[in-house]
Structure 1
């Protein structure tokens, strides 16, 4: 009976998962409605793509700063405030009258997004028994993955069929539901004990932390030169209709769910370093095949699934790597390092969108997968450095 109770999910974790779902839709639904936004606001496709890249950049820069600023406040009011800001950002996006106001709405949403995940992950862990902490975090993050499977494709279909503003209004409604669930289900939690800000910031001076950030930026970001423009790729190069392209995002979304679950087990059984080396090599090969088969519908459907599995299969290994690195080299700043990892994911998205946007602006949409190949190959260098460093540290420990 006691075992059943310890396995029961705290309703506060479910409230966090609802917000996670809304955030996932808000971040990636733009990918599915990019041509519609560009056409309605009369901006170029590459400029519309900045709604993805600049969102990620604002998230990457803002998250560590906001996490540091809110570190000493009680968790429940902090999370309620972040969800409220997220809701306001989506309403601003939905009611924007031009590109500039839409971009401002996206920036507001982005800052709330990153800070929510950095703080919410520690709250989810605190709501579970010690041996169930990782399960609670996984349930919270499952909302993000489900957004890729359900929310983003559905939002794309609605946005392309009934106007691009509708998905933003829908996300705002989800945020209102998440706000009510958080207020009702999340218990009051005291502010955590944290070290001085200088001790937190010192983590940025650790070469291993910086190297791990490079691994995340180059590895995870490698997919986004092409993925940011996946709808125009599928419609303009592969020949699918916009409705079929939106439905095909379900294929990619389902693959991310499979990849996230399989990647966690893979990294646990093999170790995060060899797992990431293999995943990076396979992702590079998959992006190369995509670059060669852009005009062939059936191979593209198959490769979309393989791409999604590999692109998101690396996430658990990268997260485990950053936490292990921080616990060893910056134990006073593990939470801050978690925030830096979220920043790195989104710096990767921003880098990918910037490179992809430059290619699109010069009429080279078909080269965007090859930019990803270069990026993921480059990620092997800092990963190899970390592996060599770990082997040297192990050899010195054995001699001692």
Structure 2
């Protein structure tokens, strides 16, 4: 596919970013309307929080299976089909009449979401020069982070003011636009050459693949013990109104956009291992400061921005790292490995929400940032192992 690789951003990457915007709104808008959902459906706040964690868990389990099933099909029709399923899941969520039907709609949405990102990341990388893969992935993910700036705060304001179903209808409309953008801008791409299913599943036996999954789970997931409950934190502990809390999601969202784009360039220039080591250290320190600042409004606003930059600044690096690792250690299962990493993002979200939910259920909302500190420090262990392994491989290569 060298004929479609150029130094400019390929419009197909922009089409992927449009879809990721819709996906970002769908995944995270629940955070801003969690109390409204809990009140309307008459469930507890921690159970409503499971709409975040179970979404992530469904995505984590379903993504590798769907990616395996679709591995031999051409990329464009596969992505179009996934966007259509995503749209249907949001319509089902919008029309749900109880917690169970809302959860079903979320599960359908989640499976399409994860598979789209797993396959879309490899497509974005294929549409860019090899040394610009991290940047192309960052541009694709920028739709996700732009959703944090515009879509999630707006959806939160609309959902709290006009009913929590409205944001889901809006996401379905965004998905229709994304479907048209994908059909128009994404070039036809043949199915990749893949090994037999057994060869792809063998990637799960690669220590480097498993270590990279642990890096993603612990590193990216570290933010979600607190972020899942950011609205009750801001209103119940810091003292902001619900409207002010919705507006403050704009601060966090703007930071995620800055972090994602800067993180892609950072990983490309510094190398993903060095970039992730630094980002994890800074994120751990930031979460600790947040844990100490919960009752102080002004410091919380500042720390929300820094938190967003660091939490999402790692996304391009960890995805590019998995692709590079898979190309070296499991070349017949790159799409599957990409799917495993998308699963890892969401296993991290699920783990964070589960830990955070347990703390909230026992009346310890203020301890949720400290759970994130422990998680991100733990992420340094598999990352250090991968670095040591890479140095050993380099030393052996140099002696050969």
Shift in Å, 1:321: 2.0
* Bigger Cα displacement from structure 2, 170-179 vs 383-392: 383-392
1:200/1:47 Cα in 2 relative to 1: closer, same or farther (>3 Å)?
same
Query: Using the alignment, how far apart are the partners of 1:189 and 1:326 within structure 2?
Result: 21
Query: Using the alignment, how far apart are the partners of 2:123 and 2:321 within structure 1?
Result: 21
1:8/1:379 Cα in 2 relative to 1: closer, same or farther (>3 Å)?
closer
Q: Would the aligned equivalents of 2:71 and 2:191 in 1 still touch at CA under 8 Å?
A: yes
Question: For 1:4-61, what per-residue CA distance to the aligned partner results, in whole angstroms no more than 9, with x for missing partners?
Answer: 9955655443332221111010000001111111111111111101101111111111
1:244/1:210 Cα in 2 relative to 1: closer, same or farther (>3 Å)?
same
Question: For 1:93-113, what per-residue CA distance to the aligned partner results, in whole angstroms no more than 9, with x for missing partners?
Answer: 011111100000000000000
1:174/1:250 Cα in 2 relative to 1: closer, same or farther (>3 Å)?
same
Shift in Å, 1:75: 2.2
**Secondary structure in structure 1 of the residue aligned to 2:80:** helix
Query: Using the alignment, how far apart are the partners of 2:320 and 2:66 within structure 1?
Result: 23
Query: Using the alignment, how far apart are the partners of 1:388 and 1:125 within structure 2?
Result: 26
Cross-structure match for 1:227: 227
1:8/1:314 Cα in 2 relative to 1: closer, same or farther (>3 Å)?
closer
Query: Using the alignment, how far apart are the partners of 2:182 and 2:3 within structure 1?
Result: 26
1:9/1:287 Cα in 2 relative to 1: closer, same or farther (>3 Å)?
closer
**Secondary structure in structure 2 of the residue aligned to 1:387:** helix
* Bigger Cα displacement from structure 2, 280-289 vs 4-13: 4-13
Shift in Å, 1:127: 4.7
Shift in Å, 1:275: 2.1
Question: For 1:104-149, what per-residue CA distance to the aligned partner results, in whole angstroms no more than 9, with x for missing partners?
Answer: 0000000000111112233344455667665544433221121111
- In structure 1, list runs of 5 or more residues that go unmatched: none
Query: Using the alignment, how far apart are the partners of 2:372 and 2:264 within structure 1?
Result: 23
CA RMSD in angstroms, aligned pairs only: 2.4
Shift in Å, 1:372: 0.4
Shift in Å, 1:267: 2.5
Q: Number of aligned residue pairs: give it.
A: 400
Shift in Å, 1:253: 0.7
Cross-structure match for 1:292: 292
Structure 2 length-normalised TM: 0.94
- In structure 2, list runs of 5 or more residues that go unmatched: none
Structure 1 length-normalised TM: 0.94
* Bigger Cα displacement from structure 2, 320-329 vs 3-12: 3-12
* Bigger Cα displacement from structure 2, 326-335 vs 62-71: 326-335
1:22/1:104 Cα in 2 relative to 1: closer, same or farther (>3 Å)?
same
1:124/1:366 Cα in 2 relative to 1: closer, same or farther (>3 Å)?
same
